[in-house]
């Protein structure tokens, strides 16, 4: 971990980064923001951890808890909403047994997330499975894709 953090620190110094860019690099490296990582930077840069957490909790992109191996993002933009994105999410939560109030299955295989809009409205409803965009989704098609990952 130390080595990875060191690399992020170097990148920060070279590119005149800021708290957001550090957090983005941590998120990219670890998939979420481990508390130790933030404390490490806090000490190195002499910035209180509260500053980091303040920024981290402000933006939707950052996660304080580890996420699943597979990330499934359902778009909840207006076009997807009127074309039934809510139904897709419900079927995902049921199929992947995501506990109520959580977004990740207990075995950490799957994380189901919502995103405001991915800007692919003309092929709504849209679901992004591990960074791949799938358009004109139906619960049936979605379940077929999920089975491939299991």
Partner 1 sequence: MKKEINIKVCMGTGGLAAGGKEVMETFEEVLKREGIQASVEKHCSVHKVGCRGFCARDVLVDVIIDGEKTTYQYIKPDMVERIVQEHIVQGSPVDDWTVKDDYHTFHSKQVKVVLADCGEVDPEDIDSYISRGGYEALKKVFSQMSPEKVINTIEASGLRGRGGAGFPTGFKWDFARKAQAEQKYIICNADEGDPGAFMDRSIIEGNPHSVIEGMIIGAYAIGASRGYVYIRAEYPLAVERLKLALSQARQRGFLGEDILGSGFGFDIKIKLGAGAFVCGEETALIASIEGKRGMPRPKPPFPAQKGLWGKPTVINNVETLANVPYIIRNGAEWFARYGTEKSKGTKVFALTGKVNNTGLIEVPMGISLREIIYDIGGGIEGGRKLKAVQTGGPSGGCIPAEYIDIPVDYESLAKMGSIVGSGGMVVMDETDCMVNIAKYFLEFTQAESCGKCVPCRIGTKRLLEILTRITDGRGRPGDIELLIELSEDVKAGSLCGLGQTAPNPVLSTIKYFREEYEAHIHDKRCPAGVCKNLLTYTILEEFCKGCTMCARVCPAGAIVGERKQPHRIVQEICIKCGACFETCKFKAIKKG
Residues that bind partner 1 (CB under 8 A): 17-21, 23-24, 54-55, 58-62, 76-83, 87, 90, 94, 115-124, 126, 131-135
| Shortest separation between residue 65's beta carbon and partner 1, angstroms | 16
| Shortest separation between residue 59's beta carbon and partner 1, angstroms | 4
Q: Which is nearer to partner 1, 6 or 78 (CB)?
A: 78
| Shortest separation between residue 38's beta carbon and partner 1, angstroms | 14
Q: Which is nearer to partner 1, 69 or 87 (CB)?
A: 87
Q: Which is nearer to partner 1, 9 or 121 (CB)?
A: 121
Residue 26 CA, distance from chain mean position: 13
């Amino acid at each position: 971990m130390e080595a990875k953090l060191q690399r992020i620190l170097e990148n920060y110094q070279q590119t005149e980064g800021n708290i957001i860019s550090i957090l983005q690099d941590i998120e990219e490296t670890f998939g979420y923001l481990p508390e130790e990582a933030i404390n490490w930077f806090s000490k190195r840069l002499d910035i209180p951890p509260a500053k980091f957490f303040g920024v981290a909790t402000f933006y939707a992109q950052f996660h304080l808890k580890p996420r699943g191996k597979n990330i499934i993002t359902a778009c909840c933009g207006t076009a997807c909403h009127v074309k039934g994105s809510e139904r897709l999410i419900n079927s995902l939560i049921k199929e992947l047994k995501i506990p109520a109030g959580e977004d990740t299955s207990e075995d950490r295989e799957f994380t189901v997330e919502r995103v405001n809009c991915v800007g692919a409205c003309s092929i709504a409803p849209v679901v992004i499975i591990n960074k791949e965009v799938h358009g004109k989704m139906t619960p049936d098609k979605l379940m077929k894709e999920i089975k491939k990952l299991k």
